[in-house]
């Protein structure tokens, strides 16, 4: 299976290194607007050295496309005419939530979304259509929130926060716009639940060393409460478990035994 990775930052690099060691896949193509990211990654690849290609060439020639860039790239992929019958693994699920009209038009591609930092996603999918309330509360270290558009727009001085503080409370659209690199978990939760009324809170905690996600879902089925405490990856905006989850999706693609939906 020919694999192309779009976005060679922290997540793309870890997935590339996994693929490089797995004989079931061949990493053939890389694309990133940051040439330094690509050169640093290629130095770490030992087996099959991938080609550096254009965005269009990668889409056209890959059997499996991995997006690990940003939500703007997601839209470009969805609009590309060559994605038919391709397998596509999206990491920036906020881009899918923003472009549901384009996603609904995809009929022949296989779309994969890792559960990422969310435990219990299978249960949420199972009760989709029966949910009455759904809330996700995300607590992050200060460093993981730096540079977010919401922080900049509202002139929030993160360095002055000296205890746990709710810095955002709103809906999914507002969260994606304000925290595009922090809120893929909420976007994935929405895509699984199909629940329009999802409520999102983001808490900044100067003492936190981990990313915490608490989900409370209720309906005529009962109540689902899930809490995950995830160590950040080398990128403080991304949980390490998000990378491990994507690796598991890759394993499932080639496995004849699939656990969970």
| Strands in 118-260 per DSSP E | 131-141, 165-170, 199-205, 211-219, 222-230
User: Which has the closest alpha carbon to 228: 142, 136, 162?
Assistant: 136
Q: How many helices (H) and strands (E) does the chain have?
A: 11, 11
- Phi then psi for residue 16, to 5 deg, are -65, -40
Kind and range of the H or E run holding 3: strand 2-6
Q: Is the Cα torsion angle 161, 184, 170, 217 positive or negative in sign?
A: negative
Kind and range of the H or E run holding 13: helix 10-21
CA distance 229 to 210: 6
Active-site hit among 4, 213, 233, 239: 213
CA distance 146 to 168: 14
User: How many residues would you count in the chain?
Assistant: 261
Give the count of beta carbons closer than 10 Å to the beta carbon of residue 118. Answer: 24
| Strands in 10-49 per DSSP E | 26-31
Q: In the annotation, is 213 catalytic?
A: yes
User: Which has the closest alpha carbon to 140: 126, 152, 151?
Assistant: 151
Q: What is the set of active-site residues?
A: 213
């Amino acid at each position: 299976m020919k694999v192309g990775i779009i976005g060679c930052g922290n997540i793309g690099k870890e997935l590339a290194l996994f693929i490089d060691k797995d004989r079931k896949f061949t990493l053939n193509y890389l694309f990133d607007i940051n040439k330094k990211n690509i050169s640093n990654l290629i130095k770490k690849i030992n087996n099959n050295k991938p080609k550096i290609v254009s965005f269009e060439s990668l889409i056209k020639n890959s059997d499996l496309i991995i997006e690990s860039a940003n939500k703007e790239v997601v839209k470009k992929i969805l609009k590309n005419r060559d994605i038919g019958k391709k397998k596509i693994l999206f990491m920036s699920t906020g881009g899918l939530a923003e472009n549901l009209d384009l996603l609904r038009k995809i009929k022949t591609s296989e779309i994969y979304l890792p559960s990422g930092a969310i435990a219990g996603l299978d249960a949420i999918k199972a009760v989709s259509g029966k949910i009455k309330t759904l809330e996700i509360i995300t607590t992050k270290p200060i460093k993981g929130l730096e540079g977010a558009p919401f922080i900049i727009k509202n002139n929030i001085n993160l360095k002055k926060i000296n205890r746990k503080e709710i810095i955002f409370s709103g809906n999914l659209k507002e969260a994606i716009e304000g925290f595009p690199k922090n809120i893929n978990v909420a976007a994935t939760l929405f895509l699984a639940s199909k629940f329009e009324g999802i409520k999102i809170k983001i808490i900044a905690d100067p003492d936190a060393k981990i990313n915490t996600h608490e989900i409370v879902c209720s309906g005529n089925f009962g109540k689902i409460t899930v809490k995950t405490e995830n160590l950040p990856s080398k990128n403080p905006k991304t949980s390490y478990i998000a990378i491990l989850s994507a690796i598991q999706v890759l394993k499932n693609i080639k496995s004849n035994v699939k656990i969970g939906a």
